[in-house]
Chains A and B, each alone.
Chain A
């Protein structure tokens, strides 16, 4: 046996790649973590020292004041409505933006590069800042919140959609072109059927995020349940805050559950 294997000429085997790059990466990540902790003065000592305070807060939160529930239902529903309207508005606006950002559909660099640049610009603005800006323009209430969520949704949905658009099968588009279809017909018959389930899934996902986002927009005066967080925390009424947290949690969990079930069915 041994003689035989020695007789067969061994082909040259490639050397295993050096792993030093991986170790180096891990070292850098650890260094960054440690550096960030030092700079922000975050220490485990302080965390442990703060524990009794946290327990006190928790004690004051219980028992929750259930009667307060009647006062916040309207605001909770407003939060959901804000998320619904904001997501829908953003989704509609995202359709042309996504089409113009996709290289395989817009085709011309002078179209999709500027559109993508604007899209990225919009995405860098946090939703809370957007809400604060719109409150400054439109005044207090749900309207600035809806606009903030719409812009935020536009950024997210358009980004996810154009990336999905760029992976579609070009075959049907080619077939529609060959059949003498108008560019809009090519999109309607070649692109839309391929992207529709993905798009709906992105919209539902954005709606989930928006319900959570809408719950804190009230902090800057943009309507919804967030306003009640500020009020109850301000008056140190932690038993009321607790109710708001429980209701928000329940609503978010329910919407997440329904939405993710729907998304499973889609793709």
Chain B
């Protein structure tokens, strides 16, 4: 369970990134965070694993405060939270397998990982993870030889090998075409239902959010302006929130045509 209590983020220049956010996210939920660019979607997601520090409030992960955690304690909390990025963030010069194994380093001592010696179980986990996203054939290819969609699936495998209990995905399909978008979102959804991994995805497309999520959170200027089930997140409702009709480029189906 993830709890955000009165979370506020003010940048040094005074602009508010997030203001007074209160959310409770239960285990196994598939949440889509939608909003215009600059609404604070990415800031919110990166606050959860503390890639960004918040200025007020507190964030609890399974009852432990990540806001107050330091050093090893912080790393232990982060180990349970996998992250997927818009630009994949793989090491391009190394093999797919090594990229996936990199997700395991949090479980081992520094000297052991310096030698690159991973136990057999880790290799097994890595291969299983690659199998789950149907990319096991590419295990020994260099990451930069893969297409964008394949690289994103490797990134998902890295999170699976990490044995994360939560997945944060920051615009995971923003640099992919509609077909690979569907494959990657299908993978995320399957992992969410099969392994009961809580998944929080930032999405630009409202229809994509409706298609995959169980709950939608709408952000505007750093505030939660919508929080409810998919059935309530209609175009009309969002038109009301945004103060203008939903535009074509905010819908994947329309943009694809």
Chain A residues proximal to chain B, CB less than 8 Å: 169, 171-172, 174-182, 184-185, 188-190, 193-194, 196-197
| In the bound complex, CA of A181 to CA of B94 (Å) | 18
> Which listed residue (B78, B91, B110) contacts A172, Cβ 8 A?
B91
Determine whether the beta carbon of B78 is less than 8 Å from that of A190. Answer: no
| A180-B88 contact, Cβ under 8 Å, with A175-B83, A185-B110, A185-B113 | no
Whole-angstrom distance from the CB of B75 to the nearest CB of chain A?
Answer: 4
Chain A residues within 8 Å of B85, by CB: 171, 174-175
Stretch of B99-107, B180-188, B206-214 lying at the A interface = B99-107
Q: Does B81 contact A (CB under 8 A)?
A: yes
Q: Does B158 contact A (CB under 8 A)?
A: yes
Chain A residues within 8 Å of B90, by CB: 171-172, 175
| In the bound complex, CA of A184 to CA of B88 (Å) | 22
Whole-angstrom distance from the CB of B234 to the nearest CB of chain A?
Answer: 34
> Which listed residue (A169, A172, A179, A194) contacts B105, Cβ 8 A?
A179
Whole-angstrom distance from the CB of A127 to the nearest CB of chain B?
Answer: 33
User: Could you list some 26 contacts between A and B, CB below 8 A?
Assistant: A169-B92, A171-B85, A172-B90, A172-B91, A175-B83, A175-B102, A175-B155, A176-B102, A178-B49, A178-B51, A178-B168, A179-B79, A179-B82, A179-B102, A180-B79, A180-B80, A184-B114, A185-B113, A188-B113, A189-B91, A189-B102, A189-B113, A193-B91, A193-B93, A193-B94, A193-B98
Interface size class of B (residues with CB under 8 A): 20 to 34
In the complex, the 10 A-B pairs of residues with the closest C-beta atoms, listed nearest first: A180-B79, A171-B89, A180-B106, A180-B78, A178-B83, A175-B89, A180-B75, A185-B105, A189-B102, A172-B91
Q: Does B76 contact A (CB under 8 A)?
A: yes
Chain A residues within 8 Å of B92, by CB: 169
Q: Does B152 contact A (CB under 8 A)?
A: no
Q: Does B150 contact A (CB under 8 A)?
A: no
| In the bound complex, CA of A188 to CA of B102 (Å) | 10
| In the bound complex, CA of A188 to CA of B78 (Å) | 18
| In the bound complex, CA of A172 to CA of B85 (Å) | 10
SS class, residues of chain A in contact with chain B: helix
| A178-B105 contact, Cβ under 8 Å, with A172-B90, A185-B113, A188-B114 | no
User: Quick one: closest B residue to A192, CB to CB?
Assistant: B91
Chain B residues proximal to chain A, CB less than 8 Å: 49, 51, 74-83, 85, 87-94, 98, 102-103, 105-106, 110, 113-114, 155, 158, 162, 168
User: Quick one: closest A residue to B114, CB to CB?
Assistant: A188
> Which listed residue (A180, A185, A193, A197) contacts B76, Cβ 8 A?
A180
Chain B residues within 8 Å of A182, by CB: 75, 105, 110
User: Quick one: closest B residue to A195, CB to CB?
Assistant: B93
Determine whether the beta carbon of A175 is less than 8 Å from that of B158. Answer: yes
| In the bound complex, CA of A193 to CA of B113 (Å) | 14
Residue in B75, B89, B90, B92 whose Cβ sees the most chain A Cβ within 10 Å = B89
Determine whether the beta carbon of A184 is less than 8 Å from that of B82. Answer: no
Chain A residues within 8 Å of B105, by CB: 176, 179, 181-182, 185, 189
Chain A residues within 8 Å of B87, by CB: 171
Chain B residues within 8 Å of A189, by CB: 91, 102, 105, 113
Chain B residues within 8 Å of A178, by CB: 49, 51, 78, 81-83, 168
Determine whether the beta carbon of B89 is less than 8 Å from that of A179. Answer: no
User: Quick one: closest A residue to B109, CB to CB?
Assistant: A182
Chain B residues within 8 Å of A180, by CB: 74-81, 106, 162
Chain B residues within 8 Å of A193, by CB: 91, 93-94, 98
User: Quick one: closest A residue to B159, CB to CB?
Assistant: A179
Residue in B74, B94, B98 whose Cβ sees the most chain A Cβ within 10 Å = B94
| In the bound complex, CA of A197 to CA of B94 (Å) | 12
Whole-angstrom distance from the CB of A173 to the nearest CB of chain B?
Answer: 8
Determine whether the beta carbon of A194 is less than 8 Å from that of B114. Answer: no
Chain B residues within 8 Å of A194, by CB: 91, 93
| In the bound complex, CA of A188 to CA of B91 (Å) | 11
Chain B residues within 8 Å of A185, by CB: 105-106, 110, 113
Chain A residues within 8 Å of B158, by CB: 175, 179
Chain A residues within 8 Å of B93, by CB: 193-194, 196-197
| A190-B106 contact, Cβ under 8 Å, with A174-B85, A179-B83 | no
User: Quick one: closest A residue to B95, CB to CB?
Assistant: A193
Chain B residues within 8 Å of A196, by CB: 93
Whole-angstrom distance from the CB of B217 to the nearest CB of chain A?
Answer: 20
User: Quick one: closest B residue to A185, CB to CB?
Assistant: B105
| A177-B78 contact, Cβ under 8 Å, with A185-B105, A188-B113, A189-B113 | yes
